[in-house]
Structure 1
Amino acid sequence: MSSSPTASGAESWHGTTILAVRKGGRVVVAGDGQVTLGATVIKHSARKVRRLGRGDVIGGFAGATADAFTLFERLEKKLEQFPGQLTRACVELAKDWRTDRYLRRLEAMMIVADATTTLVLTGNGDVLEPEGGVAGIGSGGTYALAAARALIDQDLDPEAIARKSMAIAAEICVYTNTNVVVEAIGA
């Protein structure tokens, strides 16, 4: 994550790379560990990917850290309300995110996945299921996504694809590093 001045001159956090890869009955979500403030790296080993709910959902965030943790907490409550229904929980979160005055100000994006579904959530109310088994968000997300799409047909497991793709993104995006955290679900 990095920060940049907003219209009011205050610093706001953005950046990072989160990638989901689904292949062969397995899904992985990977995230880099770099946190920057302006042009300064503050931390190399932040954990932007974690398990949610009963451990059967993985989430990764790009954007403001406090905002992301607020959204993770809200999503966990929705997962308790709708156990085993990731899409329903995400749609309910997106409704709240878009209509609640406090939540509307949150600046983050999320990728969440369970054994069968991968979704990208945004503050615009989007709950998107990406095609092709891969999704990427954050400042390096498009680089990682392109690399993963190029590698998805290779004889590689999803973790290997995610790690190689994240390494490529780190070579291109200054807000992405090679300290990658990967969480997996499935065989």
Structure 2
Amino acid sequence: MSTSTYHHGDLKNALLRAAERMIDADAARRFSLRELAREAGVSHAAPYRHFSDRDHLVAELAALWMADFVDHQEASAAGVDARANLLAAGVAYVTWAANYPSRFVVVFDPAVNRGPGPTGLGVHAGRHIALLDHLVGDAITAGVLTGPPEVTGRRLWATAHGLAGLVSLGHLPLEVTREILDRTLDAG
């Protein structure tokens, strides 16, 4: 039975929301556009008005989700203290993954995320790297971190990403994130 909120004139958003529900329920499930149409309560041909195929739809959702992911980090790191901003962004990274584990998988799926590019997901992936580089640069300038900025930044990203994966899969409680990231920053 469809849980559609589709109303004439809002087909694209109805399809995106239906796909979001399906992916949130099971990121690994490979649904067809026909199944999506059924979930959205529209004709089986309707999805093709906006999406050439399932990959096109998933890429568009991934771009929306990456934007939300980066927005969440940017909002958390809006203070004046370089160390606190870096820590807050790391906690926000892991928290978003814990709150949206299926979306986290999709956003970082190499088949979907092909890195920075001129549109969609690539734009927001570029924003993500730019934010990391900015926060690490501020922390190095403030004496919080040392070392080459790119290496230091990628080390911190790897730590946050690893924690995000472990937390989103239920292997670590979210509550330990802040302490682990805090100690990682203390190590320089």
- Structure-2-length-normalised TM-score: 0.30
With CA pairs under 8 Å and 6+ residues apart, which has the higher RCO, 1 or 2? 1
Q: Which has the higher strand share?
A: 1
Which structure has the greater CA radius of gyration? 2
